[in-house]
Structure 1
Amino acid sequence: MQSTMKMFGIILMVIFSVSCGPSAPQMKTREVAERTYKCSLVRGTCKSECNSWEYKYNYCHTEPCCVVREYKRMEKLLSTPKYTT
Structure 2
Amino acid sequence: MKILCIFLTFILTVSCGPAVLQRKTREKTKAAEERKRQCYLVRGACKTSCGQWEYKYTDCDLEPCCVAREYLPPVQPITITKSYKTTTYTSNILHPMQ
Please report the TM-score for the alignment, with normalisation by the length of structure 1. Answer: 0.57
Q: Deviations over 1:45-72 (max 9, x none)?
A: 000000000000000000000000017x
Gaps of 5+ in 2: 1-15, 72-98
Q: What 5-or-longer segments of structure 1 have no aligned partner?
A: 1-14, 72-85
Q: Distance in 2 between matches of 1:31 and 1:46?
A: 15
- The structure whose residues are more often helix, as a share, is 1
Moved over 6 A (4+): none
Aligned to 1:60: 60
Aligned residues: 53
The equivalences for 1:31-42 within 5 A come to: 31-42=31-42
Amino acid at match of 2:38: K
RMSD of the TM alignment (CA)? 2.0
Identity of aligned residues (%): 50
Cα distance, 1:43 vs. partner?
A: 0.2
Taking the aligned partners of 1:41 and 1:48, their CA distance within structure 2 comes to 19
What is the rounded CA distance, in whole Å, between the counterparts of 1:50 and 1:29 in structure 2?
Answer: 23
SS of the residue aligned with 1:23?
Answer: helix
Letter in 2 for 1:44: G
Q: Please list, as runs of the form range in 1=range in 2, the aligned pairs for 1:11-50 lying within 5 A after superposition.
A: 23-50=23-50
TM-score of the superposed pair, with normalisation by structure 2: 0.50
Following superposition, the deviation at residue 41 of structure 1 comes to 0.2
Q: Distance in 2 between matches of 1:23 and 1:52?
A: 39
Distance in structure 2 (CA, Å) of the matches to 1:40 and 1:47:
12
AA in 2 matched with 1:38: Q
